[in-house]
């Protein structure tokens, strides 16, 4: 797998299970998430969806934009 920008990612497996971790690497055959300090490899044929989660800064900015002063 190719190393990429490490972002918190939610992985949805084909059986419906959801796993959240830091995306370490991804290629056509597998994806590696760091889950609580453990690098965990998932085969892409088991993955239904990968979704990058917003950073803490992005979540804060969204919260501030929707909060009156």
d(CA 1, CA 21): 16
Task: Give the model's pLDDT for residue 67.
Answer: 87
Pair 22, 36: CB distance under 8 Å: no
Task: Give the model's pLDDT for residue 40.
Answer: 97
- Per the document, the length of the chain is 69
3-state helix, strand, coil in the chain (%, to 5): 20, 50, 30
Tell me the pLDDT of the chain (69 aa) as tens digits. Answer: 655 667 899 999 999 999 999 999 999 999 999 999 999 999 999 999 999 988 778 888 888 898 887
Task: Give the model's pLDDT for residue 68.
Answer: 86
d(CA 22, CA 3): 12
pTM of the predicted model as reported, rounded to 2 decimal places: 0.74
């Amino acid at each position: 797998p190719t190393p990429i920008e490490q972002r918190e990612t939610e992985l949805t497996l084909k059986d419906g299970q959801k796993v959240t971790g830091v995306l370490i690497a991804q290629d056509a055959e597998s994806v590696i998430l760091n889950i609580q300090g453990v690098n965990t490899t998932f085969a892409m044929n088991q993955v239904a969806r990968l979704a990058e989660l917003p950073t803490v800064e992005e979540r804060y900015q969204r919260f501030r934009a929707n909060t009156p002063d």
